[in-house]
Amino acid sequence: MSSLLSSARPFAISLVAALCLSACGGGGSSGGASFPIVSTPPAATNPPAVVEVAGPPKDLGFTDTAPAPDPAATPPFVDNVATNQRGDARYATKETNAGVRVVAGFLDFWQPSTLIVDAGVSASAQAGFPAVVPSTWSGIPGDSTDGKVLNAAVLNSNIQYVVDATNARTAAQELAAYLDDRRGKGYSISDGMGPLTAAWRTATQQSTTITGIAADATTVLYNDGGSDIGVAGAANPSFGTVVDLLNNIGENGSTEPAKRYYKYARPWRWSSSVKVVPALEPAKSSTPTTDGGFVSGHTAEAVRKSFAFAYVVPQRFQEMVARGLELGENRILSGMHSPLDVVGGRVQGHAVAAASLATGANVARKSAAYAQAQAVLMAAVGAADAAAFNDFAHSQDAATDRFADHAASKAAYLRRMTFGFKQVGDATKPAVVPKGAEVLLETRLPYLDATQRRVVLKTTAVPSGYPVMDDPEGWGRLNLFDAADGYGVFNGDVVVTMDASLGGFNAMDSWRNNISGAGKLSKRGSGTLRLGGDNSYAGGTQLVAGTLQADSAAAFGAGNVYAGGGTLVCNAPSLVTMKGAYTQLADATLQLNIGSNGAGRLSVAGVAALGGTLNVTFKPGAAPRVGDTLTLVSSGVLTGRFSAINVQGFKVTPTYTGTELVLRIDA
């Protein structure tokens, strides 16, 4: 076993000495004041056993990456988005049109009658590309001009889903589906802003003239007389740049090229059992030759606009991306689209939004739009700082803000990604991340660099094998809701540096995913990172500076925890467990936020080597009484002691045993 001075260990402490130290009490302290613990152990008569105190968890020596696919084999959407055109012979095929190509997974299930953008489309020959002649597709399923079903089980399920959904539709769902069809999509999804909705609509000057189901069911389609996005540019000096970004998030984002390539009919043409919302019957197209269902244009528009909202107000990131997918589901409930239509719309919508921010016109305005949105909305709701603004953005409960329940929204988002389809393709493909996709997280995870954000997207992506979602670039598998909750897997060393002086998520953020993997987490910088998942990552945790907070029992994973500086906080609703060893040096602080049922206490499976400061606070209703004893730290072996103990509102006497730290409440 290593000696006390061994270079292989930072230090070791005699177990006998530690036990003697623990037998000696310590002084007390009144509300918040610290007190030193000083004692001298008796001389040992036998050579002492030695407790090996863990040093910092060993780095794996590498970090995870998520390189984009080879551009020669898979042309990046963000570099080729301008090819998403119809009526141009140069961009009439899957190989030449990025908007068609990004959803080409549909070709595993459906073969259109012609593999060209030609439904109701003609185009002159140019640049060596042959002229486009309008197809003979009638738009009527099953006739001689129609395409070919390649996977009957999937496509039958696709239409049956709509039959079942529209026949079970409630009155509330019917109203929501009608409003999301008729109103401007920007206005419709703005209610995803929750407590910020009123301030947002005032700043943008958004409005609508559609507030319910029209009494006259023969009204003209899309007759919303309001302002969908709001007033842009110089005409809205306080918020015009934000509106400019929203207006341009859909550049080159038409879904018509894909509709006219895939030539797949709407669900009410496939089955008379589909019940279109009665008030939307006048909206049904009478020209089936130009009315393809795949992909859903409403969904694509809602997804990209909801992401634009999320980009400039990342405090509502998850709620807004969830609102985009909710509108997609409402297209099914309306009877106008099938699940695969909606999946295709989501895939294309995210790709278009990323292209706009990574390579498009919004590159030059996105920083100014973000700053404008933050400043104006903070002032509008009276938030003194970014932390208060974030609190206000989540100040309503589920009765008022339907996205307030994080767990429910997370489950609904995942359900709306797949709509219950089973994996029918290879379920073992590793996730890939498209070029430019990291832009989708740059305001939500600003303290991570571009490579780290790409790894977050990779480690939170859904598994492969679901219909339409396995595009070669990886757009279909991106789970933006989970990505906003940080890493899903630590496959290498993860170093997080947060600068609290920059405010917002740089100052404080929460990761709520269940993080697995062999990697190690190192927290640096002055900001606060809160871990709320059921974590199992094995590489250990090292706190160098700032604050690292456990909001769940297994926040710190399966490895050793080493606090060399900063503040480690136990704030879970139950006992915080460390499955390895815990080492705390003189410059570090342990803060225990004590509640009922063991909340905020610390249990260490291995050696707990204590030093530095202990702060103890009590949650409402959990304050002890004089004479109570509190076991705050338990371990396999406890050694060392805190140099100072501060207990909110009380004088205490600590007792260190060989396995526990117990405080007696004196006054």
Q: Is residue 646 part of a domain?
A: no
Query: Residue type for 322, please?
Result: A
Q: What is the 3-state secondary structure (H, E, C) of 132-162?
A: ECCCCCCCCCCCCCCCEECCHHHHHHHHHHH
Mean pLDDT of 527-550: 98
Q: Is residue 406 part of a domain?
A: yes
Q: Which band of pLDDT confidence, cut at 50, 70 and 90, is reported for residue 27?
A: very low
pLDDT confidence of residue 39 = 32
Query: pLDDT at position 628, please?
Result: 96
- Report DSSP state, residue 632: E
Q: What is the pLDDT of residue 41?
A: 35
Residue 241 has pLDDT above 80, yes or no: yes
Measured over the CA atoms of residue 539, residue 543, residue 546 and residue 549, the dihedral's sign is positive
Other C-beta atoms closer than 10 Å to the C-beta of 381 total: 16
Contacts of 42 (CB under 8 A, 6+ apart): 20
d(CA 359, CA 229) in angstroms, rounded, equals 22
For the chain, the residue count is 667
Distance (Å, whole) CA 423 – CA 610? 50
Any idea which residue has 């007759």 for tokens? Answer: 223
Contact of 193 with 320, CB cutoff 8 Å: yes
Greatest CA span in the chain, whole angstroms?
100
User: 């997918």: which residue's tokens?
Assistant: 325
Q: Answer whether residue 14 shows pLDDT above 60.
A: no
pLDDT in tens, 564-580: 999 999 999 999 999 99
| Rounded CA separation 340/360 (Å) | 28
152 in any annotated domain: yes
Please count the CA atoms within 13 angstroms of the CA of 313 that sit on its side-chain side: 31
Q: For 577-633, what is each residue's pLDDT tens digit?
A: 999 999 999 999 999 999 998 999 999 999 999 999 999 999 999 999 999 999 999
* Within a domain: 349: yes
- Model confidence at 23: pLDDT above 50: no
Q: Take residue 154 and report the two structure tokens written for it.
A: 């999937």
Which residue stretches of 313-403 are H helix?
317-333, 339-358, 366-381, 386-393
291 in a domain, yes or no?
yes
For residue 30, the model assigns a pLDDT of: 32
Instruction: Give the mean model confidence (pLDDT) for residues 215-229.
Output: 82
Q: Which residue type occupies 257?
A: P
Q: For residue 295, say if its preceding peptide bond is cis, omega within 30 degrees of 0.
A: yes
pLDDT at residue number 223: 85
The pLDDT score that the predictor gives to residue 216 is 73
First to last CA, the chain: 44
Q: Which residue has the higher pLDDT, 46 or 523?
A: 523
Q: What is the pLDDT at residue 215?
A: 77
Is pLDDT at 208 greater than 90 in this prediction? yes
pLDDT higher than 80, residue 19: no
Please tell me which residue, 156 or 42, carries the higher pLDDT value: 156
Do the domain assignments include residue 244? yes
Find, among 121, 473, 83, 91, the residue nearest to 252 by Cα.
Answer: 83
Q: Looking at the domain assignment, is residue 343 inside a domain?
A: yes
Please give the pLDDT value at position 20.
Answer: 33
State yes or no: pLDDT of 37 exceeds 60. Answer: no
Flag whether 85 is in a domain: yes
Report pLDDT digits (tens) over 245-298.
999 999 999 999 999 999 999 999 999 999 999 999 999 999 999 999 999 999
* Confidence grade of residue 36 (pLDDT, cut at 50, 70, 90): very low
Q: Extract the tokens encoding 603.
A: 């249990």
CA pair distance 69, 411, nearest whole angstrom: 29
Which pLDDT does position 220 carry in this prediction? 74
| Alpha-carbon dihedral 337, 341, 345, 348, rounded to 10 degrees | -160
**Cβ atoms of residues 384 and 337 within 8 Å:** no
Q: How far apart are CA 247 and CA 193, in angstroms?
A: 18
Q: pLDDT (tens digit, 9 = 90+) per residue, 358-379?
A: 999 999 999 999 999 999 999 9
- Measured CA to CA, the distance from residue 461 to residue 91 in angstroms comes to 30
CATH number of the domain within which 434 lies: 1.20.144.10
Domain region containing 199: 77-460
- Token digits of residue 370: 């973000």
Alpha helices in 251-296 (DSSP H): 256-262, 267-270
Distance CA 631, CA 594 (A): 11
Q: Which residues pair with 489 in a beta bridge?
A: 516
pLDDT bracket for residue 50 (50, 70, 90): low
Strand partners, 73: none
The CA distance from 571 to 554, in Å, is 12
In sequence order, which residues have a C-beta less than 8 Å from that of residue 7 and are 6 or more positions away? none
* Contact predicate 178/277, CB 8 Å: yes
Q: Give percent helix, percent strand, percent coil of the chain, each to the nearest 5.
A: 35, 15, 50
Total domains present in the chain? 1
Average pLDDT, the chain: 92
Q: Residue 491 belongs to what H/E stretch?
A: none
Q: How many CB atoms lie within 10 A of CB 294?
A: 28
- Distance of alpha carbon 263 from alpha carbon 15, whole angstroms: 76
Nearest to 515 by CA among 440, 460, 575: 460
Examine the pLDDT at 206 and tell me if it is beyond 60: yes
- Give the DSSP letter of residue 138: -
